[in-house]
């Protein structure tokens, strides 16, 4: 069981990285707020996002998840989740190979921890940026739901492992980006960024195929 939970944790983390690495609404918010308020803005944005993630996880576990335990529904989720992962993999791999990843990683330092009210406002923005992103919902009803169903077989420990692995990717990546931006140095260059994209994309190919097989051959 320990091995399965370890695989679940790191699988959730890698898939989380695949979403976190893609420049989107949350990334834009981190870049903007770190430029305005410094490193700690990235921390409070991720905290807000983590709260939103936990909320939807609880909704799934204590209600909606019951509708997902039908054998046919489970197979559909597994197939959709696998297809979703494969699509994400294609997008990431093609973006890496074609060098279509464009991002600015050179902002000036602003380190100061803001006031409680300012930090709460930043946290709220991190929460809301998740709610207004349609792709966030799509991820949860496809890839996220499939992962959640797998984690449920281990009880609440499995759910906690999945959530911990998933949210840790956001903390690691966005705090890393917040640090880079606050220091105003190109610690990571576009070549490294492209390699990260490619590695995550290839791993998603493996997970996508595995999800389809696991959920269709039951």
Q: Contact, 21 vs 196, CB < 8 A? A: yes
Of 159, 117, 128, 116, the closest CA to residue 51 belongs to 128
According to the model, what pLDDT value does residue 109 have? 44
Average pLDDT for residues 12-16, to the nearest whole number? Answer: 87
- What CA–CA distance (Å, rounded) separates 83 from 211? 9
Taking the CA atoms of residue 189, residue 92, residue 49 and residue 36 in that order, the dihedral angle to the nearest 10 degrees is 30
- The answer, yes or no, to whether residue 110 has pLDDT greater than 50, is no
- Listed in sequence order, the DSSP H helices in 62-189 are 71-97, 116-131, 134-139, 145-152, 155-183
Q: Contact, 29 vs 125, CB < 8 A? A: yes
Average pLDDT for residues 36-51, to the nearest whole number? Answer: 90
pLDDT tens digit string along 32-42? 788 777 888 99
Report the Cα 63 to chain-centroid distance in Å.
23
At 3, the pLDDT band (50, 70, 90 cuts) reads confident
Distance linking the first and last C-alpha atoms of the chain: 19
According to the model, what pLDDT value does residue 166 have? 92
pLDDT tens digit string along 118-135? 888 899 999 988 887 767
According to the model, what pLDDT value does residue 97 have? 83
According to the model, what pLDDT value does residue 206 have? 84
pLDDT tens digit string along 69-108? 567 777 777 787 778 778 878 877 887 788 776 555 555 5
pLDDT tens digit string along 182-197? 776 555 566 776 777 7
Percent of the chain with pLDDT over 70: 83
Range of weakest confidence among 16-25, 97-106, 156-165: 97-106
**What is the pTM for the complete model shown?**
0.73
């Amino acid at each position: 069981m320990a091995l399965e939970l370890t695989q679940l944790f790191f699988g959730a983390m890698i898939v989380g990285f695949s979403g976190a690495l893609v420049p989107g609404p949350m990334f834009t918010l981190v870049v903007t707020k770190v430029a305005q308020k410094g490193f700690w803005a990235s921390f409070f944005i991720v905290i807000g996002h983590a709260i939103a993630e936990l909320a939807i996880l609880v909704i799934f576990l204590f209600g909606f998840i019951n509708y997902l335990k039908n054998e046919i529904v489970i197979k559909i989720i597994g197939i959709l989740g696998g297809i979703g992962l494969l699509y994400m993999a294609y997008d990431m791999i093609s973006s890496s190979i074609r060098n279509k990843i464009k991002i600015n990683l050179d902002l000036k330092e602003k380190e100061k921890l803001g006031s409680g009210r300012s930090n709460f406002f930043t946290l709220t923005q991190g929460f809301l940026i998740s709610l207004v992103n349609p792709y966030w919902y799509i991820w949860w009803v496809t890839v996220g739901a499939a992962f959640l169903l797998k984690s449920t077989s281990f009880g609440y420990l499995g759910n906690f492992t999945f959530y911990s692995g998933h949210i840790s990717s956001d903390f690691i990546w966005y705090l890393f980006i917040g640090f880079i931006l606050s220091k105003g140095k190109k610690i990571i260059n576009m070549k490294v960024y492209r390699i990260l994209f490619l590695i995550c994309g290839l791993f998603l190919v493996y997970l996508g195929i595995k999800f389809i097989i696991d959920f269709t051959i039951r």
